[in-house]
Amino acid sequence: MRPLPRLYRDFAEWWPLLSAPEEYADEAAEYTRLILETVPDAREVLELGSGGGNNASHMKASFELTLVDLSPGMLEVSRRLNPECEHVQGDMRSVRLGRTFDAVFVHDAIAYMTTEEDLRTVFATAFEHTRPGGAALLVPDAVTETFEPTTDHGGHDGEDRALRYLEWTWDPDPVDTTVRMDLTYVFHEPDGSVHTELDEHLCGLFPRAGWIRGIEDAGFERVRMVALTGDERRIGSEGFLGVRAD
């Protein structure tokens, strides 16, 4: 397997300065609403690829969250932010917790699935962990139909350090199922020194029909695309919802 981007290995502790939890309030409210509209009594929710726990920091007000991520460093960041949530190290393609949840949520981390086969293993993981009558909500950054090359920049000041980044997403080969997100970070270290790093993220890009077919093939029913509103920061504006039959 391709190693995780350096952001989630060498620079995980810098995550909150790249992407601050406050920025996720609007979208987390929308994911919460979609889950509760579909499963009104939803209480226990599993998030696959929960990263630094930014969505979780808002969604935990409505749900009891179990958070799975591959990166020990990102789990550590999330544990500090969300000490009341259960954290588990695991790969979203293969993790099996031996229990089910009212809902399974997968956010932008699914971008790291670069083949249809990998994507389908995540759908299978989601199905295995969804109780009968429960639902899965999957929210990719982009689908083939809406993808556009973009640049973005941002970052924050911490108490003793600061970070700024430039993010450039582009598609070297429009025929395959991947795009590149090249990130350059400028680190202001606590000792006053400044350095930059380049980090290449290889991300998957799949058409809507592939998402819907794959989620159905995993066993979900009433699979549909849901339009997302109210978050200009995100590249994508849609998610996919499926229900596990009672």
Ligand X SMILES: C[S@@+](CC[C@H](N)C(=O)[O-])C[C@H]1O[C@@H](n2cnc3c(N)ncnc32)[C@H](O)[C@@H]1O
Cα–Cα distance for residue pair 54/29, rounded to 1 Å: 12
Using the rule CB under 6 A, is 134 a contact of ligand X?
no
Among residues 57, 72, 66, 71, the alpha carbon closest in space to that of 21 is found at: 57
Using the rule CB under 6 A, is 107 a contact of ligand X?
yes
Among residues 83, 13, 95, the alpha carbon closest in space to that of 47 is found at: 95
| Nearest to ligand X of 4, 133 (CB atom) | 4
Using the rule CB under 6 A, is 87 a contact of ligand X?
no
**Segment near ligand X (CB under 6 A); pick from 64-72, 176-184, 192-200, 235-243:** 64-72
Partners of 199 in beta bridges: 183
Q: Of these, 4, 29, 166, 235, which contacts ligand X (CB under 6 A)?
A: 4
| Nearest to ligand X of 102, 141 (CB atom) | 141
Using the rule CB under 6 A, is 199 a contact of ligand X?
no
Q: Of these, 34, 59, 92, 142, which contacts ligand X (CB under 6 A)?
A: 92
Using the rule CB under 6 A, is 70 a contact of ligand X?
yes
Give the pair of three-digit tokens for residue 53: 């726990």
Answer whether 224's CB lies under 8 Å from 240's CB. yes
Q: Of these, 11, 17, 34, 55, which contacts ligand X (CB under 6 A)?
A: 55
Determine the 3-state secondary structure of 244 from DSSP. Answer: coil
Determine the 3-state secondary structure of 7 from DSSP. Answer: helix
- How far is it between the farthest Cα atoms of the chain? 58
Q: Of these, 49, 134, 140, 214, which contacts ligand X (CB under 6 A)?
A: 49
Among residues 15, 33, 23, 25, the alpha carbon closest in space to that of 69 is found at: 15
Q: Can you say whether the dihedral through the CA atoms of 47, 49, 55, 57 is positive or negative?
A: positive
| Nearest to ligand X of 5, 242 (CB atom) | 5
Task: Please report, as ranges, the residues that interact with ligand X according to CB under 6 A.
Answer: 4, 8, 24, 49-55, 69-71, 74, 91-93, 107-109, 112
